[in-house]
Amino acid sequence: MKLEVEYYLRNGSTVWLENNVKAIRDQEGSIVGMHGVSRDISARKQAEQKREELLEALKEALSKVRTLSGMLPICSSCKKIRDDKGYWNQIEAYIRDHSEAEFSHGFCPECAKKLYPEFYKDEE
Protein backbone atom coordinates (compact mmCIF):
# COMPACT_ATOMS: atom_id res chain seq x y z
CA MET A 1 0.00 0.00 0.00
CA LYS A 2 1.27 3.48 -0.91
CA LEU A 3 0.13 6.56 1.02
CA GLU A 4 1.03 10.23 0.72
CA VAL A 5 0.57 11.91 4.08
CA GLU A 6 1.22 15.43 5.34
CA TYR A 7 2.69 15.33 8.85
CA TYR A 8 2.57 18.29 11.20
CA LEU A 9 5.77 18.84 13.15
CA ARG A 10 6.12 20.27 16.66
CA ASN A 11 7.68 23.47 15.34
CA GLY A 12 4.52 24.20 13.32
CA SER A 13 5.89 23.23 9.94
CA THR A 14 4.76 20.32 7.84
CA VAL A 15 6.46 17.59 5.85
CA TRP A 16 4.99 15.37 3.15
CA LEU A 17 5.99 11.69 3.23
CA GLU A 18 5.28 8.92 0.78
CA ASN A 19 4.80 5.77 2.81
CA ASN A 20 5.14 2.36 1.15
CA VAL A 21 3.87 -0.33 3.48
CA LYS A 22 3.84 -4.09 2.97
CA ALA A 23 2.29 -6.69 5.25
CA ILE A 24 4.47 -9.51 6.58
CA ARG A 25 2.52 -12.77 6.77
CA ASP A 26 3.12 -16.08 8.51
CA GLN A 27 2.71 -19.56 6.98
CA GLU A 28 -1.08 -19.42 7.34
CA GLY A 29 -1.33 -15.98 5.66
CA SER A 30 -2.07 -14.04 8.83
CA ILE A 31 -0.44 -10.62 9.16
CA VAL A 32 2.28 -10.76 11.78
CA GLY A 33 4.02 -7.50 11.01
CA MET A 34 4.51 -4.61 8.66
CA HIS A 35 7.45 -3.48 6.62
CA GLY A 36 7.53 0.14 5.53
CA VAL A 37 9.67 2.71 3.83
CA SER A 38 9.01 6.46 3.91
CA ARG A 39 10.55 9.16 1.82
CA ASP A 40 10.24 12.93 1.97
CA ILE A 41 8.22 14.25 -1.00
CA SER A 42 7.80 17.80 0.32
CA ALA A 43 9.71 19.36 -2.61
CA ARG A 44 7.55 17.49 -5.12
CA LYS A 45 4.35 18.55 -3.34
CA GLN A 46 5.50 22.18 -3.32
CA ALA A 47 6.29 21.97 -7.04
CA GLU A 48 2.84 20.45 -7.72
CA GLN A 49 1.18 23.25 -5.74
CA LYS A 50 3.17 25.90 -7.63
CA ARG A 51 2.24 24.23 -10.93
CA GLU A 52 -1.46 24.30 -10.01
CA GLU A 53 -1.23 27.99 -9.07
CA LEU A 54 0.51 28.81 -12.37
CA LEU A 55 -2.06 26.82 -14.36
CA GLU A 56 -4.88 28.68 -12.61
CA ALA A 57 -3.21 32.04 -13.31
CA LEU A 58 -2.71 31.04 -16.95
CA LYS A 59 -6.37 30.00 -17.30
CA GLU A 60 -7.44 33.33 -15.82
CA ALA A 61 -5.12 35.28 -18.12
CA LEU A 62 -6.31 33.37 -21.18
CA SER A 63 -9.92 34.07 -20.31
CA LYS A 64 -9.14 37.80 -20.41
CA VAL A 65 -7.25 37.76 -23.72
CA ARG A 66 -9.04 39.40 -26.62
CA THR A 67 -7.30 39.40 -29.99
CA LEU A 68 -8.10 40.61 -33.44
CA SER A 69 -7.39 38.21 -36.28
CA GLY A 70 -8.39 37.49 -39.83
CA MET A 71 -9.51 39.90 -42.54
CA LEU A 72 -11.07 43.23 -41.52
CA PRO A 73 -13.22 44.91 -44.20
CA ILE A 74 -12.16 48.56 -44.10
CA CYS A 75 -13.39 51.50 -46.19
CA SER A 76 -10.61 52.88 -48.38
CA SER A 77 -11.90 56.42 -47.93
CA CYS A 78 -13.16 56.97 -44.39
CA LYS A 79 -11.35 53.97 -42.77
CA LYS A 80 -14.49 52.62 -41.06
CA ILE A 81 -14.53 48.86 -40.40
CA ARG A 82 -17.50 46.62 -41.20
CA ASP A 83 -18.42 44.35 -38.27
CA ASP A 84 -19.89 40.82 -38.35
CA LYS A 85 -23.42 42.26 -38.49
CA GLY A 86 -22.68 44.41 -41.53
CA TYR A 87 -22.53 47.74 -39.69
CA TRP A 88 -19.74 50.24 -40.35
CA ASN A 89 -17.86 51.42 -37.23
CA GLN A 90 -15.17 53.99 -36.60
CA ILE A 91 -11.85 52.15 -36.49
CA GLU A 92 -11.17 53.30 -32.92
CA ALA A 93 -14.53 51.99 -31.67
CA TYR A 94 -14.10 48.66 -33.45
CA ILE A 95 -10.59 48.06 -32.10
CA ARG A 96 -11.62 49.20 -28.59
CA ASP A 97 -14.57 46.76 -28.60
CA HIS A 98 -12.54 43.83 -29.92
CA SER A 99 -9.27 44.21 -28.00
CA GLU A 100 -7.78 45.65 -24.85
CA ALA A 101 -6.41 48.69 -26.74
CA GLU A 102 -7.21 52.24 -25.69
CA PHE A 103 -6.71 55.32 -27.83
CA SER A 104 -5.42 58.82 -27.39
CA HIS A 105 -5.67 61.26 -30.26
CA GLY A 106 -3.30 63.76 -31.76
CA PHE A 107 -2.03 64.84 -35.16
CA CYS A 108 0.95 63.57 -37.08
CA PRO A 109 3.19 66.39 -38.41
CA GLU A 110 1.84 66.19 -41.97
CA CYS A 111 -1.82 66.41 -40.86
CA ALA A 112 -1.05 69.19 -38.39
CA LYS A 113 0.50 71.28 -41.19
CA LYS A 114 -2.43 70.55 -43.52
CA LEU A 115 -5.13 71.31 -40.92
CA TYR A 116 -3.43 74.23 -39.18
CA PRO A 117 -1.19 75.90 -41.80
CA GLU A 118 -1.24 79.22 -39.94
CA PHE A 119 1.02 77.69 -37.25
CA TYR A 120 3.57 76.50 -39.83
CA LYS A 121 3.98 79.57 -42.12
CA ASP A 122 7.50 80.27 -40.83
CA GLU A 123 8.75 76.80 -41.82
CA GLU A 124 8.01 77.17 -45.54
pLDDT in tens, 80-103: 999 888 999 998 888 888 887 888
> What is the rounded distance in angstroms from the CA atom of residue 20 to the CA atom of residue 98?
55
Same domain, 96 and 60: no
pLDDT in tens, 101-118: 888 888 888 888 888 888
Same domain, 93 and 42: no
pLDDT in tens, 23-74: 999 999 999 999 999 999 999 999 999 999 999 999 888 776 666 777 888 9
CATH of the domain at 35: 3.30.450.20
> What is the rounded distance in angstroms from the CA atom of residue 109 to the CA atom of residue 25?
91
Query: Which residue type occupies 113?
Result: K
Give the number of domains in the chain.
2
Per-residue confidence (pLDDT) for residue 71, from 0 to 100: 81
Residue 76 maps to a domain: no
Per-residue confidence (pLDDT) for residue 70, from 0 to 100: 76
CB atoms within 10 A of CB 96: 14
> What is the rounded distance in angstroms from the CA atom of residue 96 to the CA atom of residue 109?
25
Torsion, CA 31, CA 33, CA 35, CA 40, rounded to 10: 110
Domain with 115, as residue range(s), is: 81-123
Residue 51 maps to a domain: yes
Residue 71 maps to a domain: no
Per-residue confidence band for 17, with pLDDT thresholds at 50, 70 and 90: very high
pTM of the entire structure?
0.47
